[in-house]
Amino acid sequence: MLAQFLRFGLVGALATLLHMTIGVTLIGSGWETLSANVIAFFVAFLVSFLGHSGFSFPDHDMPMARALRRFLLVAVAGFAVNEMLLALLLWTGMVTQAIALVAATGCAALFSFTVSRNWAFRKAQPAAQVWRAS
């Protein structure tokens, strides 16, 4: 599971780098910031989905369309977890802004990995073996 988590982190880091690169490039080309971010998010989301489907969780048995819908929900939920935890940590003032961001992002990544592994890209469970009385 550790190797799978590291693959998940690698794909996530690549998708994040791609998101930032596309967003900054589009903004630098004159795009409105919010529009650039939406385009960058969708490109990064597709790369993330393909990377997780083929590299992080290559042995899943989920049909691609279903996995794509599920992973979209995971991505949105992960973002919500990140934002809510970040807001809570900032509101309480218990930690610095940088620590709050790292903690919230780390928790969201763990959440996303767990839900992706156990739901969005669930591996097939072996069929129960039926024993016949002799």
If one counts every other C-beta atom within 10 angstroms of the C-beta of residue 100, the result is 20
90 vs 42: CA distance, rounded Å: 28
Please report which confidence band the pLDDT of residue 129 belongs to, taking 50, 70 and 90 as the band edges: very low
Provide the residue type at 85 as one letter: L
Please report which confidence band the pLDDT of residue 130 belongs to, taking 50, 70 and 90 as the band edges: very low
- pLDDT at 76 (0 to 100): 93
Q: What is the DSSP string of 21-70?
A: HHHHHHHHTT--HHHHHHHHHHHHHHHHHHHIIIIISTTB---HHHHHHH
String of b and e for 1-25 (b: at least 16 CB within 10 Å)? eeebeebbeebbeebeebbeebbee
- pLDDT at 49 (0 to 100): 96
For the chain, which residues make up each domain, given as ranges? 1-58, 60-123
pLDDT of 26 > 90? The answer is yes
CA distances from 129 to 60, 62, 73 (A): 21, 22, 33
pLDDT of 133 > 60? The answer is no
The per-residue pLDDT of the chain, averaged, comes to 89
Share of the chain above pLDDT 70, in %: 92
Share of the chain above pLDDT 90, in %: 69
Provide the residue type at 42 as one letter: F
66-106 pLDDT, tens digit each: 999 999 999 999 999 988 999 999 999 999 998 988 899 88
| Selection from 72, 69, 75 nearest residue 112 by Cα | 75
**SS3 for 128?**
coil
Average pLDDT over residues 13-36: 92
